[in-house]
Chain A
Amino acid sequence: MRTLWNKYRYLMFRRTTQIGLLLLYFGANVWGWTLLMGNLSSSIFLDVVPLSDPYAALQMLAAGAVLATDLLIGVFIVTIFYLLIGGRAFCSWVCPVNIITDAAALLRRKLNIDGISKRQPASRNMRYWVLVLSLIISFMMGVTAFEFISPISMLHRGIIFGLGFGWAAMLVIFLFDLFVLKNGWCGHICPLGGFYSLLGSFSLIRVQHTQENCTGCMKCKVVCPEQQVLHMIGKESLPVLSGECTNCARCIEVCDDDALSFSIKKLAKNKKSGE
């Protein structure tokens, strides 16, 4: 029981927030709950507070839409929130696709697919290109380009309002991540992840590495969905500063040596300069 808590506490929290949020949305549509209505694209919290997806708003802007006040307030709140707690916290704590890609990554490890195909043929910077491309297409076609193909929206909207053939898109992502490219969707392609990576560069909550405790077992790198952000492991005591870190805290959990923990950016910096 104790190890279960130590090794999986953040994972359980994350699944709770991911599923809990969807349940609140689902309840709003089916049973008329009013705590959180809408979906992850845009919602109303407690009947008053608007919340909106800043990346969707960006596409609307590129498409030439007039942005309403409610939308701007919602975008502002969400942006500030993720600016503080880490942009890609959305990816690991809220986004339902994360459950699918995590499952693919887990199975990939269990089947030792990484051992067989070591080469990763694609660049993780692809997502930023997709991000730019989505804005260009939005601008040229006058529609929100990614919102019309987004498997993320397809899934959360599907769970709340009816999935249709959306399950096929989920299966494709699962198989793609499992067989074609490790962390393929979330770590390479998803422009929403790319957007939140850029936003997360400023976040205050960081994973801190303590070199003195590290034994170099590399368990953290095995579970990390964005391995490149853990470049300091076994080298020096540094916070994980890359915006691509999803703050999923899997590395903290799997570490047996207390070498990784959450910290506040400012404090971590001060500590470092104080030494």
Chain B
Amino acid sequence: MKNKTTSDRRKFILNMARSAGIAALGGFVWSAYVDEVTASQLLLRPPGAIKENEFLKTCIKCGLCVEACPYDTLSLAKPGDHKPLGTPYFIPREIPCYMCPDIPCVPVCPTGALDESSVTTNGVLDINVADMGLAVIDRETCIAFWGIQCDACYRACPILGEAITVEYQRNERTGKHAYLSPVVHADACTGCGLCEKACVTEKASIFVLPREVAMGKAGNYYIKGWDKNDEKRLENAKEIKTTTDISKDSAVNSLNSGKGDLY
């Protein structure tokens, strides 16, 4: 009798240990996979999409935005697309966002992963404030920078003159022509990708990247002294003191110390 209870107890403990082991293994593989598939940064979301890490937990992958889009711009990521499975994205070189004024893809979102308030100004839907990404130009391959006249992206831009402008510059090589080179303005660009679609080079020389990828960050140290609003940041600024190998000593001593490369 006693033996039986002991072996029952052993069996129970063994079973629990086995379940825990399987759960740990499964959980490890599962979370590693999820981590992998959600790591993709280089994809463009529909207008009004909330921040990517929030988007991944909020989007329910129902595809209502995809169905609402009249241009078939959006698709849901399929297995094999190497994008977070089931989430909506678009590839501007194939079909860009045509920036419908009524933004049909956003209000249909049942979960708020596409946030109506982020594309609304004064209570009215406004696609011009959407932020799907930012167009960047490769000056090496853009033929306008070679001096060949092309303003395809400029003409294609729905916010022509604000998001993309053309700058004139003397062409020193010929001495009698001008460069008409496109410049993207980050504050106006919505990332719709019509420019990328319109670009005439074999592989687009202007292309949309997610803003976090396309842009740097100046940080808090630098303030535009000529900008009254930006200068206000000084009011709340606190002194930050960092000590490095070089700053331990006075500047002159550091320079004379013969430490070699100060950087």
Contacts and interface: CB of A to CB of B under 8 A. Distances in A.
Contacts of A65: 54, 57-58, 111
Nearest to B66: A161
A130 B108 contact: no
A39 interface: yes
A234 interface: no
B78 A148 contact: no
Given A37-B64, A153-B86, A144 B57 contact: yes
A5 B114 CA distance: 48
A28 interface: yes
Contact of A52 (B27, B81, B110): B110
B38 A38 contact: no
Interface stretch (B29-37, B144-152, B159-167, B253-261): B29-37
A57 B76 CA distance: 19
Contacts of B26: 130, 133
Given A142-B53, A148-B84, A133 B27 contact: yes
B30 A143 contact: no
B104 interface: no
B27 A41 contact: no
B80 interface: yes
B60 A157 contact: no
B56 interface: yes
Contact of A149 (B34, B76, B80): B34
Nearest to A134: B30
B30 A149 contact: yes
Interface stretch (A68-76, A95-103, A222-230): A68-76
B62 A143 contact: no
A137 interface: yes
A27 to B, nearest CB: 11
A42 B62 contact: yes
A148 B57 contact: no
Interface string A36-74: 011101111000001011001100100111111011001
Given A71-B110, A130-B26, A60 B76 contact: no
B118 interface: no
Of residues B27, B38, B86, which shows the largest number of chain A Cβ atoms within 10 Å of its Cβ?
A: B86
Of residues B57, B79, B84, which shows the largest number of chain A Cβ atoms within 10 Å of its Cβ?
A: B57
B210 interface: no
Contact of A164 (B62, B64, B80, B111): B80
Contacts of B111: 42, 60, 65, 67-68, 70-71
A133 to B, nearest CB: 5
A19 interface: no
Interface in A105-162: 129-130, 133, 136-138, 140-145, 147-149, 153-154, 157-158, 160-162
B75 interface: yes
A50 B110 contact: yes
B79 to A, nearest CB: 4
Contacts of A66: 58, 112
A162 B88 CA distance: 12
Given A65-B57, A68-B111, A149-B34, A162 B75 contact: yes
B126 interface: no
A82 to B, nearest CB: 17
Contacts of B81: 164
A45 to B, nearest CB: 12
A25 B23 CA distance: 35
A163 interface: yes
Nearest to A32: B67
B80 A42 contact: no
Contacts of A60: 57-58, 60, 111
Contact of B112 (A68, A141, A154): A68
B248 to A, nearest CB: 41
A38 B78 contact: no
B57 to A, nearest CB: 4
7 pairs of A and B residues whose beta carbons are closest in the complex: A164-B78, A42-B62, A63-B57, A165-B80, A68-B112, A165-B79, A38-B62
18 contacts: A29-B67, A39-B63, A41-B61, A41-B62, A42-B111, A43-B64, A44-B64, A52-B110, A65-B58, A71-B60, A137-B27, A141-B31, A154-B85, A157-B86, A160-B63, A161-B66, A161-B78, A163-B78
Interface of B: 19, 23, 26-27, 30-31, 33-35, 37-38, 53-54, 56-58, 60-64, 66-67, 75-76, 78-81, 84-86, 108, 110-112
Interface of A: 28-29, 37-39, 41-44, 50, 52-53, 56-57, 60, 63-68, 70-71, 74, 129-130, 133, 136-138, 140-145, 147-149, 153-154, 157-158, 160-166, 168-169
Given A141-B31, A149-B33, A154-B86, 10 more contacts: A28-B67, A42-B64, A57-B60, A65-B58, A133-B23, A140-B31, A143-B56, A143-B57, A148-B37, A157-B76
